[in-house]
Chains A and B, each alone.
Chain A
Amino acid sequence: MRTAISRLSLVEPRSLRHALRLMRDEAGLVPLAGCTDLYVALNDGALRATRFLNLWPIEELRVIEPRGPVLFIGALATYSSLIRSADVRRRLPMLVSAAREVGGRQVQNRGTLGGNIANGSPAGDTLPVLAAAEATVVLGSATGTRRVPFTAFYKGYRTTVMRADELILGIEVPEVEGRQWFCKVGTRGAQAISKVVMAAVRAPHPRVALGSVAPTVVRVPKTEAALTGGASVDEARTILMSEIAPIDDIRSTAAYRRHVAGVLLGRFWEQTAAGRPVY
């Protein structure tokens, strides 16, 4: 452990309202939930913060339920609870697929959807799903609640539109029409960080979102427009490969990522074609 644990303090809120007041009143207070990202940072000494707000006991942020036309998923919903939820299975099966790909069972039991969003890694497994589903992020603060489209949530590499006093309360997912599709490509069969991750929806206006190919999760509007306009999947693949800008890093190469993104687009299109078994 490369962080001095005895110098850290944990603030326990009595309620969500109390948590939001604490966020307003104390600059530098860092919210934590399942700690699956935080502990990694603590272990390698990368974390600067010393005061943390424990959100884990706030039950109302754990809710998964239909609310009118949308499905609400609380920020503290764990990957395991997403996998178990009948509502998520029915309305957003690609999120179940993504949740199954996150870490191992222990991480799935602790890690939360809100944490995955807040951590903002371009390789986050659930993020392309939220982008393709056109989800909305519900942000709360002591002064009220606001909604931000997920596709406008990230400003750049691990930076978001959130204010310092805000917490992610959850996400709202509208009805997704069309067939959903998800695939993650990593180096090993489990517990791998993705080299490319894609979520997509086959609808009159197809939606395609990718992770690990840019500083943030991205939608690919030119590719989507081509598919909407009736272009062949080969044409769309060519557009996709120029539309994304992956990089070489210790996990893979730009060339491999670009190629595999094209492969995944082809598989999405083939596997969601009319007449194929429903996903």
Chain B
Amino acid sequence: MKGARKAHATRATAVVGHPVRRKDGLDKVTGAARYIDDLVLPGLLYGTTIRSTISRGEIASVHLDFDTTGFTIVSARDIPGKNVVSLIEADQPSLADGRVEHVGEAILLLAHADKERLLDVRVSIDYRPAAPVVEPELSPTTFKEITIAKGDLGRGFAEADLVVEGEYRTGHQEHLYIETNGVLAVPGDGGITVHGSLQCPYYVHRALCELLSLPERKVRVIQTETGGGFGGKEDYPSVLAGHAALLALKSGRPVKMVYDRAEDMLATTKRHPAIVRHRTGVTRDGHLTAIDIEVLLDGGAYVTLSPVVLSRGLLHATGPYRCDHVRVHGRVVKTNTPPNGAFRGFGAPQTQFAAEVHMDRIGEQLGLDPIQVRERNALRPGDTMATGQRIEANGGALRVLREAARRTRFRQRRRALRGTDRGLGVALFFHGAGFTGSGEVKLRSKATLELTRRGVRVGVTATEIGQGARTVLAQIVATALGIPYEHVEMPPADTSLAPDSGPTVASRTTMIVGRLLELAARDLKRRLRGRTPAESWRAHGPISVTKEYTPPPGLTWDEEQYVGDAYGTWAWACDVAEVELDRDTGIVRPLRITSVADIGRVIHPVMARGQMEGGTAQAVGYALTEEVVMRDGRMANAQLTNYLIPTTADTPEIDVVFVERPYRNGAFGAKGVGELPMDGGAPAIVNALRSLGADVRAVPATPERVLDALSKG
């Protein structure tokens, strides 16, 4: 195998598995890359948003207390189509019409050619306030409820020698992509073109058609260079694009809207807070006999993506463990806070935090060390998960667990640290790659390859958001087609030029879109009959090949019963974190995190490592410092000085190890990597604290919380 890969490396075309130069690297490093705020058009107007200052109530009146000369003003009455942000449910208005459900809800839009005139805008709004619901436990409104059941819980608990219970909590998390949300809407030809910093061009396209009552061909969405997303540009750009488009259509001029950091933090989506309760039956020798889990997610004021976040959260709630008798029940409820949405991990970091801290507590009660209790229960090939999905012959959690324990000399190190202020913690976790259940079937993603004079042009709406999609997809095409990587063109995602290859979310781009391109490239290669693209072009002119997703044979999913193959495949990983605790101040310093991950075949080793390191750093923030302070439904610390992500001084050395077990239905054997690292960091760090005597059951584990836990210990 090693020899074979070495041989491949000598051919410039077989670039899968090699750290080729990023397609977007030079432009980003030199500053030539153009982001949304770099775009200026003649006659450009700048847009701004007037937002609700209360959490819930009726709007009694709106007064404009400024000189409105030269302003374009849009309210709900100006919406030509349906006043909704089209996603899963049609419950969220684009602009509040008579009532508001959260602080920051958009009420009025204004645009002016002079950006500074927007600062003079004074709008007074009279409300008839109503009592807001801010605690999810007190919410009377359930957006979605799901139950996953397997076996007979009663029997499982009857077989148990011990029952371990616990409640675990996770807070909001802010994405803090380096570039805030922004779009530019350009009217023309009886339609609209929207350029934007976004992840899912066709989501925005669909939302604009509904809002503006325009046919599909009159709406065009083009992704500009995007400074990060993390899920924060999955659903929200549909809101912002709608606003800019409304202003542009009313004024007949291009309108740009770019949020500043405070507005982005105050108004856009965040990770769902969660309360997770576990009740677990276990035998004296450490085998799980029954798992009963109750999950409550805070959805915020509107449904957005909450049902699918709940679904993914529940499907990951047991952790990567086998058990015959399982019940996982969860609800996502409404509160009068800004809607929560997609965020790297999508429900799984919340539920796996609970599962992994709970697993350490089970081990403690049985006198088993953290590796032992996990080894006994880790999913193995042939085992079935809660939905009945069977683990593939080259899958399961045991391999990464053993590799992490070996590499970190976990037991020895833990013994050596005993009695010091350093602790070691482990988290074993998994992440389903691609859309949940029959999601990929419904998406029916497409990808196109077009021959060019010297190579090939890729037609997808998978977006480059910093993760390296452009590079990885080009590597796959070059390798499958046998042409130089440099001859693969990756144009920006544009709904007028490329088919819908699905949203850039759910760790699906390399595995699913990459696979479509791999198949398209193999098809095209057959049609070239041994000619180079240049030779073929000269002889026959353009050729184009489009592939549409078809599910791999044997995958089944029952949406009603939640039974079957929840995901095409799973990525597996194990984190070991070493931390230092200051027992007097409660300050925790992570010193080193080892992350052993099976993400299938690694397409680009440097960027895959980058995904693991970046996701782990984001998990360090989630674990320790990132706290959204909500006061009466309003984020009180919407500033970078007070919402604290880790600096390099807070980010430990991260040792990434890949265990490559290829997935037969992924591009060249690849699975997903984007979200996986977000799931493990927080429980590994909190379990390290547990080894130091701090019984922490909520994140972020701020110094205040850690001291509290120590004083109770």
Query: Which residues from chain A sit less than 8 Å from chain B, CB to CB?
Result: 1-7, 40, 43-45, 185, 187-193, 195, 250-253, 255-256, 259-260, 263, 266-267
Contacts and interface: CB of A to CB of B under 8 A. Distances in A.
Interface stretch (B128-136, B519-527, B544-552, B645-653): B645-653
B704 A2 contact: no
A45 B625 CA distance: 27
Given A6-B116, A7-B116, A44-B262, A185 B587 contact: yes
A104 to B, nearest CB: 8
Nearest to B645: A188
A267 B587 CA distance: 15
A253 B587 CA distance: 15
Given A185-B587, A256-B703, A192 B644 contact: yes
B119 interface: yes
Interface in B328-380: none
Nearest to B705: A256
B629 interface: yes
B257 to A, nearest CB: 15
Contact of A263 (B585, B589, B641): B585
B646 A187 contact: no
Contacts of B707: 256, 259
A45 B650 CA distance: 31
Interface string B80-124: 000000000000000000000000000000000000100110000
Interface string B689-713: 0000000000000111001000000
Given A187-B702, A256-B707, A4 B116 contact: yes
Given A187-B702, A256-B707, A263-B584, A2 B647 contact: no
Contacts, number: 60
B18 to A, nearest CB: 35
Given A1-B260, A2-B260, A191 B116 contact: no
Contacts of B704: 252-253, 255-256
Contacts of B589: 189
A251 B587 CA distance: 14
B139 interface: no
A189 B702 contact: no
B689 to A, nearest CB: 16
A188 B703 contact: no
A44 B637 CA distance: 13
11 contacts: A43-B260, A45-B119, A187-B644, A187-B702, A189-B647, A190-B648, A195-B703, A250-B636, A250-B642, A252-B704, A267-B584
Nearest to A256: B704
Contacts of B584: 260, 263, 266-267
> Helix, strand, loop or mixed for chain A's interface?
loop
Contacts of B625: 187-188
Nearest to A190: B649
Contacts of B642: 193, 250-251
B488 to A, nearest CB: 39
B629 A250 contact: yes
A188 B647 contact: yes
Contacts of A260: 584-585
Given A2-B260, A256-B703, 14 more contacts: A3-B119, A4-B116, A5-B116, A40-B641, A43-B260, A185-B587, A185-B703, A187-B644, A188-B625, A190-B650, A192-B644, A251-B642, A263-B584, A267-B584
Q: Which of A187, A191, A255, A263 has most chain B Cβ within 10 Å?
A: A187
A172 to B, nearest CB: 31
Contacts of A4: 116, 119-120
Contacts of B585: 185, 260, 263
Given A1-B260, A3-B119, A4-B119, A189 B649 contact: yes
The 4 A-B pairs of least Cβ separation, nearest first, read: A189-B649, A4-B116, A190-B649, A263-B584
How big is chain B's contact interface, by range?
20 to 34
A188 B649 contact: yes
A5 B377 CA distance: 62
A7 B114 CA distance: 13
Interface string B579-610: 00000111101000000000000000000000
A6 B260 CA distance: 19
Interface in B235-277: 260, 262
Contacts of A44: 262, 639
A6 B119 CA distance: 12
Contacts of B644: 187-188, 192
B702 to A, nearest CB: 7
Interface string B645-689: 011111000000000000000000000000000000000000000
Contact of B650 (A40, A189, A253, A259): A189
Contacts of A3: 119
A49 B636 CA distance: 25
A184 B19 CA distance: 42
A45 B260 CA distance: 12
Contacts of A191: 647
A4 B117 CA distance: 8
Contacts of A253: 704
A193 B637 CA distance: 13
Nearest to B700: A187
B654 to A, nearest CB: 16
Contacts of B649: 188-190
Contact of A250 (B260, B637, B648): B637
A227 B649 CA distance: 36
Nearest to B637: A250
Nearest to B119: A4
B590 to A, nearest CB: 10
Given A2-B119, A187-B703, A193 B641 contact: yes
B48 to A, nearest CB: 10
A188 B650 CA distance: 6
A66 B585 CA distance: 38
Contact of A188 (B119, B639, B646): B646
A189 B646 CA distance: 8
Contacts of B636: 250
A210 to B, nearest CB: 15
Contacts of B703: 185, 187, 195, 256
Contacts of B587: 185
Given A252-B704, A259-B707, A190 B647 contact: yes
Contacts of B641: 40, 193
Interface string B500-538: 000000000000000000000000000000000000000
B628 to A, nearest CB: 10
A256 B585 CA distance: 8
A254 B704 CA distance: 10
B586 to A, nearest CB: 8
Nearest to B649: A189
A64 to B, nearest CB: 28
A2 to B, nearest CB: 6
Contacts of A263: 584-585
A45 B119 CA distance: 9
Interface string B624-641: 010001000000110101
A1 B37 CA distance: 13
A169 to B, nearest CB: 29
B589 to A, nearest CB: 7
Nearest to B586: A256
Nearest to B120: A4
Nearest to A259: B707
B646 to A, nearest CB: 6
Nearest to B584: A263
Contacts of A189: 589, 647, 649-650
Contacts of A251: 642
Interface string B430-464: 00000000000000000000000000000000000
A4 B703 CA distance: 40
A190 B650 CA distance: 8
B230 to A, nearest CB: 19
